[in-house]
Structure 1
Amino acid sequence: MHIEDDSSRINKYNYYSLLCGYVGMCMFLYGFFLVNFSSVEHSETCNEANEENNSLRIRPPKTDKIVIMVIDALRYDFLVDDDIVKNMPFTRTLISGNNTCVFPCRVQLPTVTMPRIKALTMGMIPNFFDIVLNFGSTRLFQDNILKQMFKAGKKIVFYGDDTWIKLFPDLFYRYEGTTSFFVTDFVEVDYNVTKNVDKEITHNDWDVMILHYLGLDHIGHLEGPKSLKIPSKLQEMDAVINKLIHYLSNWVK
């Protein structure tokens, strides 16, 4: 008869515990730093698909110009809270007049700049490994909405966070970037965007304009959402929205 002593039994339990801990750690790291594998192939544009199949009926676009305005850190409650949205009177008028859609978006971590831009342009779910890549953004080779616009012959202009320029270096017709790392800058980082908006609304040679404002985000990082600087920044953004809406409404190709 073989009798297992206590020390042998303890060693076996320790072995199983270490093995379970190792497997659990590997599973956690795989989920936490999950790397997305995506193809570098690109889908066809409407024009390319129509050339291959003449029976396709491609509907003409309903608009000639599009403006994509990203106000970094514009929280949902900034647009629905009566005490805060009063700082954006024009936007408040659009919302109350049912001329715009406001809906909350529940995003997944991480919420740093580069992963969120990839999510917006590619429709992908970012992962925590992108936090490391955020500090050294490189060209995005996967299919995305900007590349599809470029392939369709659309002229894209961009002003704002230079992460976009690093991700899409050859897609912009005109551009000027601002760095996002000087978080103490609440003024110049947005002024450099708006001054180009004033120039672009005098030109008719672009189809898509992308703007990425950082001032509100910088205030939030340093002083929080209750900062006394936020009302004036919201008023500044409201004035830009007002300018763009009136320009697009009155623009005739």
Structure 2
Amino acid sequence: MNTHERRTAVVTGAARGIGAAVARRLALDGFAVAVLDLDEVACRTVVDDIRSEGAQALAVGADVADEAAVETAVERVADVLGPPTVLVNNAGVIRDNLLFRMTGDDWDTVMNVHLRGAFLMSRAVQRFMTEQRWGRIVNLSSTSALGNRGQANYAAAKAGVQGFTKTLAVELGRFGITANAIAPGFVETDMTAATAERMGVPFEEFKASVAAGVPVARIGRPEDIAHAVSYFASEGAGFVSGQVLYVAGGPCD
């Protein structure tokens, strides 16, 4: 706890699912946490949970694909909670479809949130990290980066996140900043529920089918990803950078 005094973390897409679990975990680890999502009101439940445990938290509404909104949001976090030195780029959307049915808007929306959003947030926050000579950037990729039917846009974006992460590690390492990516497998969230709905399969049936093919015989939980983020954000992970950790219940090809 003492090692994180006056350190602030920003988690995007944190109103629910993986992002909410990550925000709660980092608060338990001793960070002040900015809970950032498109709708500030939607962030308040997570913020209230964190504050009820005696930690600091701030709800921030911002579109991560909007340059001006990102700059304003990060400045607000710095003013209220202190200079952000941990960033978790988790915000994401899906617009799944087979290639011949995928629209240009489907492609652009996914690319803008996942890749442009990670770029804009990382660029805005790195200034504070370099000033502090300490920082942790954790980007959420996916096993879909290896290729997944009906997700040409999402797979390309998540593969791009991995290349982006490795480049950040090379550029920012000399400032005491690490950059790593986490690639979750199937995790039970509203997003994966939407995937089941798109496929016309009841979610419980979909989850059971997926779990049957996972070596640990279960699907992932948001807390599984939060635990991995906690490690990458820790003081002890300072010699780990540019890595992609697959959190998927088994090996990934």
Q: TM-score, normalised by structure 1?
A: 0.31
Who wins on radius of gyration, i.e. which is larger? 1
Q: Which has the higher strand share?
A: 2
Q: TM-score, normalised by structure 2?
A: 0.31
Structure with greater contact order relative to length (CA < 8 Å, sep ≥ 6): 1
